[in-house]
Amino acid sequence: MTVTIIRAIIIYIFVIAAVRIMGKRQIGELNPHELVITIIVSQTASIPLEENSMPLANSIAPLLVFVSLEIIMSVVSMKSLTFRNILQGRPIMIIKDGKINQSLLRKLRFTVDDLVDSLRQKDIFDLNEIQDAVIETNGSVSVLKKSEKNALTPSDIGISTDEKSTPVAVVIDGKSVSEYFGSEKISDSEIELLVKSNNTEIGKIMLLTVDSAGNTFLVPKQSK
């Protein structure tokens, strides 16, 4: 049992490291080759957990090969458009000027139900609102709505607005976070001032964010 636990911990750490190396993607955003690598890595990693007699190196070596292949293919894809198109495919426009290209739908084996379902996930329930729609290489659908169906923006009616920055978390679960996005840094003394300006204590905060204008948003911890 001890051997199994140790092997499980080693495989877990190694797979986490491999996934981090390959990059951050949600399952729904994976391209075909990325999805294949992900499935193979998970299957390969599970084998030594079922067979304690198998040397751990027999599983780690193939994992290293798969991760290396993914990195190599990604690098080559960045340098070669032809290779990228072969590996990932190309985006395909299935709706152009409000008209559905039914022949492309059949070619992609993309049913009307698939199309309507994807559009609903984009908060579009009426196909008459769509100007263009594209099926991306990962299978998701991107949509351009007709101009008359878009909501008015301040620029449409000649109103100027101040630009906003992305709020940065400086306190999470009662602990200060001086470096959240990596490039956005804030000193502990500044965090302490922000906490005091909200008349609270850092240990009582679940989340505290601040933007470049100094605006803060605070979520206090709930008492158990």
Closest CA to 98 of 122, 46, 133: 133
Q: Does the pTM of the predicted model rise above 0.75?
A: no
Is-contact 88 33, C-beta < 8 A?
yes
Q: What was the pLDDT predicted at 220?
A: 92
Check residue 223 and report its DSSP letter: P
Phi, psi of 7 (to 5 degrees): -60, -40
User: What does the alpha-carbon distance between residue 138 and residue 75 come to, in Å, rounded to a whole number?
Assistant: 18
C-beta separation of 189 from 172 below 8 A = no
pLDDT digits (tens, 9 = 90+) for 130-189: 999 999 887 789 999 998 888 777 887 888 877 777 788 889 998 888 887 666 678 888
pLDDT tens for the chain, residues 1 to 224: 677 677 778 777 777 777 666 665 555 556 667 777 778 877 887 777 777 777 777 778 888 888 888 888 888 888 887 888 787 778 899 999 999 999 988 888 888 888 889 899 988 998 899 999 999 887 789 999 998 888 777 887 888 877 777 788 889 998 888 887 666 678 888 899 999 999 999 999 999 998 888 889 999 988 76
What is the fold, at CATH topology level, of the domain defined by 168-220? CRO Repressor (3.30.240)
In CATH, the number for domain 92-149 is 3.30.240.20
- Annotated domain spans of the chain: 2-86, 92-149, 168-220
Q: How many CB atoms lie within 10 A of CB 105?
A: 18
Do 168-220 and 92-149 fall under one CATH topology? yes
